[in-house]
Amino acid sequence: MAITSVKNLKEFSTTNERFEGAHLLCPGCAHSMIVRELMNCSDDNLVISTNTGCLEVSTAVYPYTSWDTSWIHIGFENAATAAAGAEAMYKARKRKGTLKNPDAPVKFVAFGGDGSTYDIGFQWLSGAVERGHNFTYICLDNENYANTGGQRSSSTPIGASTTTAPAGRVSYGEKRNKKDMMAIMAANGASYVAQVAPNKWKNMAQAFQKALSIDGPCYINALSACTTEWKFDPKDTINISDLATDSLVFPLYEIIDGTELNITYRPKNVLPVKDYLAAQGRFKHLFKPENAHILEEWQKRVDEKWEYLQRREEARV
Amino acid sequence: MSNVLSNEKRGMHELGAEKKVGWDEVTHGVVLHSFEDDATDVAMRKAEDRKYSEFSSYTATVASWRVIKPVYNRDICIDCQNCWVWCPDSSIISRDKQILGIDYDHCKGCGVCVEVCPTNPKSLLMFGEAMSSEDAIAQWPVKEKKEK
């Protein structure tokens, strides 16, 4: 008894919540949708580590905790380290026979934001994956340091206005493209790498279950639309995620053992990237006439990426 | 079923209002236990069968964040569970594949549930916080005809 049913939503709705309400995440935050779904995906005991970020500060406001499972808070760069350490200790104690309940299934999960994953915790994540710990790292990718007021991270896409890369008279905002963390983790030797978004709940649940069942380091990049820093109405979290996946700005795919790439979601009607950008305040300035070349570049880059993914999927290398 | 909707443990504390703890009072390496009893099989139990301790945020409330609230209309609902899976605050109560209602202690009024509701008219709509659910249901819109 480990994996709960995700065949359809009605079936899935009978699973038990292990992430409690009255956390202090913003209304409409996608973080809690993702975390809650992960915890409903499995009946196993979960050991979760979370590094500093929105998720950590909002779910463990002393004297409260929103977690119904073992949960460790650790410094900004160390989500992977904590999960790796706990996993190594678990294995050692299992070997020595000092576990109280050796047959209970345990899974190790680490949550980090994109700031801690793409930038600050990158070295530690890479180390934990290289050592081959049996854990799942989930990056809640909201494309900026939302907890500290929306600074740019290396996940911030080109043209986004952030507090440290503001758009104005001279600048169009962030100047660099988003780092391809999926390719990096696949090359790093992760057994399973997947990109998921909360609006495709089944796709996401299946990726979580696959990652939890695989014996080895797994990395999941989860799109987490940020109502505060992306500047949209809290009710539109799922709508924005729909736009992101359907315009292929955030394609959903998985890479198994660094080579086998599968596209897990193909939109029936591909939307123009413009629709996705227009829905968010952080890209508002891109629609001024002087920034038209950025819009073109956006569309071109997204098309190229999609072409690349399709070729990779065919080539199986 | 009634105790599912109004679990007496839920929402006892206003967050930050009652138990304000200064940083100098926080001990290093503090461990908070979410449950009063053994939690090994907690994944097999529903909220009403668990013994939450006072440290679980389940016993806290964020109801004061809300300006508008979702109201649920049982008569139109088709139990698709969209609102349940996408509620960011675990505030849609669902048991045995049926939606029972909204947990107003943990709901922050973001409105995601209304957006993802597929029925026509919607079975969840936002109303002012002060309006009673009966009044809201009395003025529920009727089915919109599809434009040709």
Q: Could you report the per-residue pLDDT of B94-103, keeping only the tens digit for each?
A: 999 999 999 9
The whole-angstrom distance between residue B73's C-alpha and the CA centroid of its chain comes to 15
Q: Distance between CA atoms of B140 and B122, rounded to whole angstroms?
A: 9
Q: How sure is the predictor about B2, in pLDDT bands with cuts at 50, 70 and 90? A: very low
**Given B60, B80, B90, which is nearest A17 (Cβ)?**
B90
Interface residue A17 vs chain B (CB under 8 A): yes
Report pLDDT digits (tens) over B28-41: 777 888 999 888 88
Domain span at residue B97 reads 63-141
**Given A27, A44, A236, which is nearest B115 (Cβ)?**
A236
Question: Which residues in chain A are contacts of B56 at CB distance < 8 A?
Answer: 20, 64-66, 68
pLDDT of residue B26: 67
Q: Do B32 and A65 touch (CB under 8 A)?
A: yes
Q: pLDDT tens digits for chain A (317 residues)?
A: 456 788 899 999 999 999 999 999 999 999 999 999 999 999 999 999 999 999 999 999 878 899 999 999 999 999 999 999 999 999 999 999 999 888 888 999 999 999 999 999 999 999 999 999 999 999 999 999 999 999 999 999 999 999 999 999 999 999 999 999 999 999 999 999 999 999 999 999 999 999 999 999 999 999 999 999 999 999 999 999 999 999 999 999 999 999 999 999 999 999 999 999 999 999 999 999 999 999 999 999 999 999 999 999 999 87
Residues B56 and B73 in one domain: no
Does a structural domain hold residue B148? Answer: no
Residues B130 and B71 in one domain: yes
Interface residue A22 vs chain B (CB under 8 A): yes
Question: Which residues in chain B are contacts of A31 at CB distance < 8 A?
Answer: 88
Residues B93 and B43 in one domain: no
Q: Do B81 and A9 touch (CB under 8 A)?
A: yes
Which segments of chain A are extended strands (E)? 45-51, 70-74, 106-113, 136-141, 192-196, 218-223, 253-256, 260-263
Answer yes or no: are the C-beta atoms of B88 and B131 closer than 8 Å: no
Answer yes or no: are the C-beta atoms of A221 and A194 closer than 8 Å: yes
Does a structural domain hold residue B17? Answer: yes
Interface residue A70 vs chain B (CB under 8 A): no
Residues B117 and B103 in one domain: yes
Residues B56 and B78 in one domain: no
pLDDT of residue A87: 96
pLDDT of residue A185: 96
pLDDT of residue B3: 61
Residues B131 and B88 in one domain: yes
CATH number of the CATH domain containing B95 = 3.30.70.20
Question: Which residues in chain B are contacts of A60 at CB distance < 8 A?
Answer: 32
**Domains in chain A with CATH codes:** 9-315 (3.40.50.970)
Q: Do B105 and A62 touch (CB under 8 A)?
A: no
CB contact burial B50-80 (16+ within 10 A = b; e otherwise): bebbbbbbbbbbbbebbebbbbbbeebbebb
Does a structural domain hold residue B41? Answer: yes
Does a structural domain hold residue B146? Answer: no
pLDDT of residue A173: 94
Does a structural domain hold residue B27? Answer: yes
Interface size A-B, in CB pairs within 8 Å, comes to: 151
Does a structural domain hold residue B48? Answer: yes
Q: Which of B61, B81, B108 is the last residue of a domain?
A: B61
The three-class DSSP label of residue A151 is: strand
- Residue A47 has phi, psi (to 5 degrees) of -110, 115
Residues B45 and B69 in one domain: no
pLDDT of residue A287: 95
Residues B54 and B122 in one domain: no
Q: Within the 88-147 window of chain A, which residues sit less than 8 Å (CB to CB) from chain B? A: 101, 104
pLDDT of residue A5: 81
Q: Which residues contact A241 (CB under 8 A, 6 or more apart)?
A: A30, A197, A198, A199, A223, A225, A250
Q: Do B89 and A63 touch (CB under 8 A)?
A: no
- Candidates B34, B99, B102, B5; CA nearest to A20 is B34
The three-class DSSP label of residue A15 is: coil
Q: Do B115 and A44 touch (CB under 8 A)?
A: no
**Given B47, B96, B108, which is nearest A27 (Cβ)?**
B108
Q: Which of B14, B29, B61 is the last residue of a domain?
A: B61
Query: How much is the mean pLDDT over chain B?
Result: 86
CA-CA distances (angstroms) from residue B56 to A61, A164, B29? 10, 36, 17
Of the two residues B3 and A208, the one the predictor is more confident about is A208
CA angle A200–A3–A244, rounded 5-degree value: 15
Interface residue A37 vs chain B (CB under 8 A): yes
Q: How sure is the predictor about B15, in pLDDT bands with cuts at 50, 70 and 90? A: low
Does a structural domain hold residue B1? Answer: no
B1, pLDDT greater than 50: no
pLDDT of residue A193: 97
Q: How sure is the predictor about B18, in pLDDT bands with cuts at 50, 70 and 90? A: low
Does a structural domain hold residue B12? Answer: yes
Residues B129 and B78 in one domain: yes
Residues B98 and B109 in one domain: yes
Residues B73 and B42 in one domain: no
| Tally of domains within chain B | 2
Global ipTM = 0.92
Share of chain A above pLDDT 70, in %: 99
Q: Which of B14, B41, B61 is the last residue of a domain?
A: B61
Residues B70 and B128 in one domain: yes
pLDDT of residue B107: 95
